[in-house]
Structure 1
Amino acid sequence: MPSVHHAPLRKIDPESLYRIVALRTDVFVHEQGITCEPELDGRDLEPTTELFWTQEGDEVLATLRVLHDSEDIAHIGRVATARHTRGRGLAGELLEAALATCPGIVDISAQAHLENWYARFGFVRTGPNYIEAGIDHVPMRRSR
């Protein structure tokens, strides 16, 4: 049974952190072909950033990160699920766990094809579509 974990980068054991970064690289760089901006952008190192991940045995199956841009605004991003585990609800579980830690407004830059999926968690579109890293996105927000 997969288990959900979360911690700031400095408190994650090196093997789990390696697997989180490997999953993000597999999904964003190898699968989606995002090479115009770095996967490791330095934001993971910020003291208020938290990484969330689902792990089964030694394998990280899904991950996301929460950036706390201010006391009452957070940004969820880098949501990634291993291809062979998609459809099991793992990203949804992680998203719910992350939202439970966010006290106020949560913004997300959603890939446009996932707009309805994020809407299931209370996110609403806040503006027009835009291109980020060569992929169609929509800005979305969830308020408590």
Structure 2
Amino acid sequence: MDRFKLEIKSNADLSALEMIKIMQERVAVFVVEQDCPYQEIDDKDEDAWHVILKDQKNDQVAAYARVVRHDDGKSISFGRVLVVKSYRQQQLGRAIVTAAIDHIHKQFPKRTVKIAAQNYLRNFYASFGFKTQSDVYLEDGIPHIDMTLVE
């Protein structure tokens, strides 16, 4: 993990180039790789915190998550969790989720953490303490499930 540095930035703290690199990786994973045409960049990006693991060798985004207010207005959520294809199988998914949860606890203490997880990742998120809160449903044609962090 020494190869990677963690950065957590609001939109105001991101340079235009950093935002472009993040959006390129998000579109590459969630639109192209998952073959899911949808509005990947949305209104939630305007007030998001960006949790980024960068490769210190080349300053490239290796993993990413977005922290936002949940749709219920009370809870906090994270999503758009990704590991760039060339960095997979290095436990970076676990590292970026841990960093997102830690950030939420520091920035929004005592707030409930709710996520809409892709169903195939249900056990991955359960390993962090998330519990299933819904039946499986389709979001943009991909099976999802609502989960809440229980601590």
Same structural fold, with TM-score higher than 0.5 when normalized by the shorter chain: yes
Q: Could you give the per-residue CA deviations for residues 59-108 of structure 1, whole angstroms, max 9, x where no partner exists?
A: 10111101124785101111111112112111211111111122221111
CA distance in structure 2 between the aligned counterparts of 1:34 and 1:9, rounded to whole angstroms: 25
Give the match for residue 116 of structure 1.
123
* TM-score computed with the length of structure 2 as normaliser: 0.87
Q: Which runs of 5+ in 1 are unaligned?
A: none
CA distance in structure 2 between the aligned counterparts of 1:141 and 1:89, rounded to whole angstroms: 22
Moved over 3 A (4+): 69-72
Amino acid at match of 1:92: R
24 and 9 in structure 1: CA distance in 2 versus 1, 3 angstrom threshold: same
1:63 partner SS: strand
Matched, 1:60 2:61: yes
Matched positions, count: 141
1:34 aligns with one of 27, 33, 36: 36
Q: Which moved more, 1:78-87 or 1:121-130?
A: 78-87
User: Is the CA contact (8 Å cut-off) linking 2:131 and 2:150 kept in structure 1?
Assistant: no
1:24 partner SS: helix
Q: Which runs of 5+ in 2 are unaligned?
A: none
Matched, 1:131 2:138: yes
* TM-score computed with the length of structure 1 as normaliser: 0.91
1:10 aligns with one of 9, 12, 15: 12
CA distance in structure 1 between the aligned counterparts of 2:102 and 2:74, rounded to whole angstroms: 13
Instruction: State the identity as a percent.
Output: 28
CA distance in structure 2 between the aligned counterparts of 1:116 and 1:15, rounded to whole angstroms: 35
1:101 partner SS: helix
CA distance in structure 2 between the aligned counterparts of 1:101 and 1:6, rounded to whole angstroms: 8
